[in-house]
C-alpha cells in the first residue's frame, strides 16, 4: 500500500503548496492513480530560496567533523529504511523490488562515502617566489545549489546531489521528478531526522519548466546539477549562463557495445541481458547499440534472444519479476515508433516488438537484428527495453560507427584480448568504459559524460569537488613595528 504523504519540504517544514495545486501520481504497473502530489507556487519557491540562503550561512560554518556526523546518521537512516523506501519506489517507478532495494543501498553507501570525504576537502601550501610570502589555497562551498533529478533512479539521483552538496558545506533545493515524488521525500526525511538544520535541504515539486526558470534566475543559487535529457540540459545551461552559475550536467547517452569475435559468449550474453533490461532499459548507461563481430553475429543474436525470452515481465512487487513497466503511457508509443522505423528500414524483430496486452505500461523485451545505422533507434536513445543489433567486420570500422553520435556517456567492450580491450577503451569517445563489465558507476568512481552527454561529474572525489570553489590567500608577512 502506498503510504507516503506527498508534500513540499521548505526551510525545515513539510507543507502543502500555497496555491493548492495538485497532480496525480500513477503506478506504472497498473496505470492507476496512487496519490496526489502538492505542487509549489512562486511564493513557495521564494521561501525555499530564502531558506537555502539562511541555511547555507549556518551549515557552511559547521566543522567538517560535524557535517560528517549528520551525513553518517542520514546514511544509517536510509539503510534502516531500505525496504520501506524500495516499496515506495517500485510503486512509483515500476522497477523490481530487488532493484529498488539495491538502489536504496547505493544511496546509503554514497551518503556515507560523502560523509567521510567531507573531512578531506584539503587545501594546500604553494611555495612562494619571494621570502616572507605564504601562499595557501582553501576549498570553500560554492553556496546554495539547485538539484534537478530524474525519475529513473529516484533515490540515487536525489541522494547523490544532497550528499555531495551537504558534504561540501552547501545548502540545496532539490526538484525531483513528479512521477516519483515519494522516494525523494523518504530520502529527504532521513536527512531531516539526521539533524540537518532548517533550510539546508529543501524539496519542491510541480511543473518543471517554470520552477527551473524561477530558481535558476535567482541570484541566490550558485550551482545547478541536473540529471536528465540532453535537450533539458541545454535549456538549463542557457538559463544558468545569465548569472554564470556553475553546472554539472549528467545527460542522455546511447551506449555502444562492441563484442569482438574472441569474447566469452556465455559470460557476455548473461552480462548484457541483465544490463540491457535493468529498469526496463530506462537507464542512461544502458547498452543500446550492439555491434557484434560478423563471425559470431548469428550465434550471439540467437543466444541473446533465447535469454531475453526467459525474462519474467510484470509488477515489480511480485516475486520473481525481472522486468517492470515503462514509466508512462507515452513512452510505450515512443518505443513502438522506434521499432516500426527500424523494421521499415530493413531490421527484423527477433522477439518482442509490441506492447503487452495487460494492465499497466508494459512493453515486451525486444531484440532487433540487422538494424541499419540510419534507423532512428541507432541515433536516438531508446530509453526502453530494446536491443538493436548489427554486425561489424573490422576494428576501425566499429570504432568509427560507435563514435558517430554526438552523445558520449558510456561504452562497453567485450574481448579476451588485452590489446584489443586497451585500444577500444581508449578509442571510444565516452565518459566511462566497461571492459567485460557493465558496472560503470560506483560510489567511489567519477561519473559523467562528454560532448552532448554533458559535463562535470557525480560520485568520487570529483563529485565533491563540483560543489567546492578554490580560494588563494597570498599572505605577505610584514616585520613587527613597535608603536611606542
Whether 481 has a pLDDT exceeding 90, the answer reads no
d(CA 195, CA 70): 6
d(CA 428, CA 422): 10
Residues 287 and 378 in one domain: yes
Backbone angles phi, psi at 136, to 5 degrees: -120, 145
The rounded Cα 293 to chain-centroid distance in angstroms is 31
- CA 155 to each of CA 173, 177, 293, 358, 471: distance values in angstroms, whole numbers, following the listed order: 15, 11, 38, 28, 33
Asked, for residue 1, whether it belongs to a domain, the answer is no
Residues 62 and 81 in one domain: yes
The model's pTM is 0.95
Q: Are 454 and 152 in contact (CB under 8 A)?
A: no
pLDDT in tens, 201-255: 999 999 999 999 999 999 999 999 999 999 999 999 999 999 999 999 999 999 9
Residues 233 and 270 in one domain: no
Asked, for residue 266, whether it belongs to a domain, the answer is yes
Q: Give residue 478's pLDDT.
A: 87
d(CA 321, CA 138): 50
Residues 51 and 196 in one domain: yes
pLDDT in tens, 58-88: 999 999 999 999 999 999 999 999 999 999 9
d(CA 67, CA 58): 11
d(CA 425, CA 419): 10
Asked, for residue 16, whether it belongs to a domain, the answer is yes
So which residues are the catalytic ones?
250, 284
Asked, for residue 183, whether it belongs to a domain, the answer is yes
Residues 262 and 247 in one domain: no
Q: Are 157 and 150 in contact (CB under 8 A)?
A: yes
Residues above pLDDT 90, as percent of the chain: 98
pLDDT in tens, 116-166: 999 999 999 999 999 999 999 999 999 999 999 999 999 999 999 999 999
Q: Angle at the Cα of 461 (from 411 to 106), degrees rounded to 5?
A: 65
Could you please report the per-residue DSSP string of 179-224?
TSHHHHHHHHHHHHHTTPPTTSEEE--S-HHHHHHHHHHSSS--EE
Asked, for residue 146, whether it belongs to a domain, the answer is yes
**Number of domain units in the chain:** 2
pLDDT in tens, 439-458: 999 999 999 999 999 999 99
Residues 190 and 306 in one domain: no
Residues 411 and 311 in one domain: yes
Average pLDDT over residues 290-300: 98
Whether 418 has a pLDDT exceeding 80, the answer reads yes
Residues 383 and 417 in one domain: yes
Q: Give residue 139's pLDDT.
A: 96
d(CA 96, CA 319): 9
Q: Give residue 458's pLDDT.
A: 96
Residues 172 and 300 in one domain: no
Asked, for residue 3, whether it belongs to a domain, the answer is no
Indicate which CATH number applies to the domain containing 126.
3.40.605.10
Residues 367 and 218 in one domain: no
Q: Give residue 479's pLDDT.
A: 83
Residues 40 and 136 in one domain: yes
Q: How confident is the model at residue 482 (pLDDT cuts 50, 70, 90)?
A: low
Residues 79 and 209 in one domain: yes
Parent domain of 301:
255-435
Average pLDDT, the chain: 97
Q: Give residue 480's pLDDT.
A: 79
Amino acid at each position: 500500500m502506498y503510504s507516503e504523504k506527498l508534500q513540499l519540504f521548505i526551510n525545515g517544514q513539510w507543507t502543502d503548496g500555497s496555491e493548492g495545486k495538485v497532480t496525480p501520481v500513477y503506478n506504472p504497473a497498473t496505470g492507476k492513480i496512487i496519490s496526489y502530489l502538492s505542487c509549489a507556487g512562486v511564493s513557495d519557491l521564494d521561501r525555499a530560496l530564502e531558506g537555502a540562503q539562511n541555511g547555507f550561512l549556518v551549515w557552511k560554518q559547521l566543522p567538517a567533523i560535524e557535517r560528517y556526523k549528520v551525513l553518517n546518521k542520514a546514511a544509517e537512516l536510509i539503510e534502516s529504511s531500505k525496504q520501506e523506501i524500495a516499496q515506495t519506489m517500485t510503486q512509483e517507478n515500476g522497477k523490481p523490488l530487488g532493484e529498488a532495494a539495491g538502489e536504496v543501498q547505493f544511496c546509503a553507501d554514497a551518503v556515507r562515502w560523502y560523509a567521510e570525504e567531507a573531512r578531506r576537502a584539503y587545501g594546500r601550501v604553494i611555495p612562494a617566489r619571494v621570502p616572507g610570502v605564504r601562499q595557501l589555497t582553501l576549498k570553500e562551498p560554492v553556496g546554495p545549489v539547485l538539484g534537478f533529478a530524474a525519475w529513473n533512479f529516484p533515490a540515487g539521483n536525489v541522494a547523490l546531489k544532497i550528499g555531495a552538496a551537504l558534504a561540501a558545506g552547501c545548502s540545496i533545493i532539490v526538484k525531483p521528478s513528479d512521477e516519483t515524488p515519494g522516494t525523494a521525500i523518504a530520502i529527504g526525511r532521513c536527512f531531516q531526522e539526521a539533524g540537518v538544520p532548517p533550510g539546508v535541504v529543501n524539496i519542491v515539486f510541480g511543473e518543471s519548466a517554470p520552477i527551473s526558470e524561477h530558481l535558476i534566475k535567482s541570484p541566490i543559487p550558485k550551482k545547478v546539477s541536473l540529471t536528465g535529457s540532453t535537450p533539458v540540459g541545454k535549456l538549463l545551461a542557457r538559463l544558468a549562463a545569465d548569472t554564470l552559475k556553475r553546472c554539472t550536467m549528467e545527460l542522455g547517452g546511447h551506449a555502444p557495445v562492441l563484442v569482438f569475435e574472441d569474447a566469452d559468449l556465455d559470460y557476455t550474453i548473461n552480462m548484457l541481458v541483465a544490463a540491457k533490461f535493468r529498469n526496463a532499459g530506462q537507464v542512461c548507461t544502458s547498452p543500446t547499440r550492439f555491434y557484434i563481430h560478423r563471425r559470431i553475429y548469428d550465434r550471439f543474436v540467437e543466444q541473446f534472444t533465447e535469454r531475453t525470452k526467459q525474462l519474467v515481465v510484470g509488477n515489480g512487487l511480485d516475486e520473481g519479476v525481472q522486468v517492470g513497466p515503462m514509466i508512462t503511457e507515452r513512452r510505450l508509443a515512443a518505443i513502438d515508433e522506434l521499432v516500426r522505423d527500424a523494421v521499415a528500414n530493413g531490421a527484423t524483430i527477433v522477439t518482442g516488438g509490441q506492447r503487452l496486452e495487460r494492465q499497466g505500461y508494459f512493453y515486451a523485451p525486444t531484440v532487433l537484428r540487422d538494424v541499419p545505422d540510419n534507423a532512428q533507434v541507432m541515433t536516438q536513445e531508446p530509453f526502453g527495453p530494446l536491443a538493436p543489433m548489427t554486425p561489424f567486420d573490422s576494428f576501425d570500422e566499429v570504432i568509427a560507427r560507435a563514435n558517430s553520435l554526438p552523445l558520449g556517456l558510456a561504452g562497453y567492450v567485450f574481448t579476451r584480448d588485452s590489446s584489443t580491450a586497451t585500444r577500444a577503451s581508449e578509442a571510444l569517445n565516452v565518459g566511462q568504459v566497461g571492459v567485460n563489465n557493465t558496472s560503470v558507476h560506483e560510489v567511489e568512481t567519477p561519473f559523467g559524460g562528454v560532448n552532448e552527454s554533458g559535463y562535470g561529474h557525480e560520485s568520487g572525489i570529483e563529485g565533491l569537488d563540483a560543489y567546492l570553489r578554490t580560494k588563494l590567500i597570498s599572505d605577505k608577512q610584514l616585520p613587527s613595528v613597535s608603536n611606542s
